[in-house]
Amino acid sequence: MNLPILIFISILVTCSAINPKKLPECNDEELSKMERCIPRTDYLQMVMRYYEDENQPVENYKDAALYCTNILDCLAPLNCREAEPMKLEFETVRENLEYKMLELKPCLARFFTRTYLIQHSRNSSCLKDYSFLDKDLTIKSDEYIEGEACFLNTIKSLCGTDAMEYYTKNYQKFVTTISTEPEDAKCSHPHFQLNSLQCRGLELEIILRIDSLKERKYKGSYAEFTEINQMCEDAQHCLSVNECQKFDTFKTTLEKSCELLDYLGDQFHCLTGFFKEAYSSNGSTCFQKCDFLEKDLSKKREAFEKGKSCFTDYVKDHCNQTSIDFFSKNYQEFVNDISIKPNDTDGQSPHKVLNTFRCDALGKQIQNEILELHAMKLESNDTRVPKMNKMCKDMQYCVDDSCFVKEHTKHTVEHTCNLLEMVHKRSFAACASKLMKDKPDFLDYECLDGLDLYDQ
């Protein structure tokens, strides 16, 4: 008998936690039959590699699943002890390969997400009538059996025809798999793979929503932040009770994304107001004693540590109870987030978000200053000019360091700062006066393309 096959059989029998029924040991003829059922060990190794790999072409999964089917058909007549764990093992492998080749996992993840979201919606749906997400496996089994029509109709609306055909044909097998914990407690078993999708679908929905907030510079309604916060809590609980996802990379991604929510909603408005106050303060307040706007991170940290009472007093006077409670409990963590630059480069970190709030506050303050100076005669020796020039330079630094600001906006800020710099150097006022008086044709000056200084 082929030695590698004997070793493979031995490993399956020894390592499988599934106890075969009280069957007789395989005789020589049956062992020989088992060897013929798996004639190519090199191909077997390739099948197992496809089984573990999530990024193979669909055709590879189909070929590997067909190979498992042929093995199972060959092993079916054997009714002896050594054959039983092999049947169970290849059935498990084939089932996982089917989920990959038909893209059933993304489909099921969408089903779980839809089921979760509908529970918090006012919309009517059959998904509210069945506890498809119940942790009790006995209840889960009953709910899936009773809710078959609801499940299949939802799958039909969310997934392709392959998924619909698979679940229609294999529904009872699916229910058994998802609601029966195997004695073979490997995370690769379909039971654990399918149930982990309850967490995965919710994780993906959270990441999509936070990405949407990122596109809007983390501006959203109170209801939106509250909903995402609840989803984060539910997803983290889901992961905490799922042993197979303790070290999942998605768990790390989720935790990182949910951390951002600490500074959104109420905290966003509170911090934006704080930074705006820091920019507009005029000398006598505690803001002048602590440079909360310092660009050097070590000095910024020192400012927030020494100016804790200044910060907390502002929060108590200007922010709601949610923000008061948050900063009272998490002040040191807030100081760490605002003064320690992380290694990531994707911008999805509290540090980057807090910098965005500073930019937002500074932009609003600059607008206010410009509105106050609008229609006033601004001479180059006006004391407000160097202040505006410094604020503009700070804004330029702020947007250059932000991954949320578009390049066009960065160029606009740079152009504005250059104009203010000309005023500061006493070279712009006379030029502007002449422009307003003579009104030359800007088409003659390529560098002024797009500007309309005469617009009222």
Residue given tokens 């604020």 in the structure block: 391
Distance separating alpha carbons of residues 307 and 300, to the nearest angstrom: 10
User: How confident is the model at residue 255, as a pLDDT?
Assistant: 79
| Among 452, 377, 384, 372, residue whose Cα is nearest residue 420 | 384
Q: What is the pLDDT of residues 245-259, one digit of tens each?
A: 655 667 777 777 788
User: How confident is the model at residue 42, as a pLDDT?
Assistant: 67
Distance separating alpha carbons of residues 259 and 228, to the nearest angstrom: 11
Instruction: Tell me the residue type at 20.
Output: P
Distances (CA, A) of 155 to 115, 149, 387: 11, 10, 61
Let me know: does 362 contact 394? Beta carbons within 8 Å: yes
Write down the domain spans for the chain: 3-101, 104-250, 373-456
Question: Can you count the helices (H) and strands (E) in the chain?
Answer: 21, 0
User: How confident is the model at residue 18, as a pLDDT?
Assistant: 44
Distance separating alpha carbons of residues 398 and 341, to the nearest angstrom: 14
Q: What is the pLDDT of residues 20-35, one digit of tens each?
A: 557 888 898 988 888 8
pTM above 0.85, yes or no: no
Given a cut of 50, the residues of the chain with pLDDT beneath it are 1-18, 442, 445-448, 453-456
Give the DSSP letter string of 90-141: HHHHHHHHHHHHTTHHHHHHHHHHHHHHHHTSSS--GGGSS-TT-S-HHHHH
Let me know: does 203 contact 216? Beta carbons within 8 Å: no
Let me know: does 107 contact 158? Beta carbons within 8 Å: yes
| Other CB atoms within 10 A of residue 180 CB | 12
User: How confident is the model at residue 6, as a pLDDT?
Assistant: 42
User: How confident is the model at residue 118, as a pLDDT?
Assistant: 92
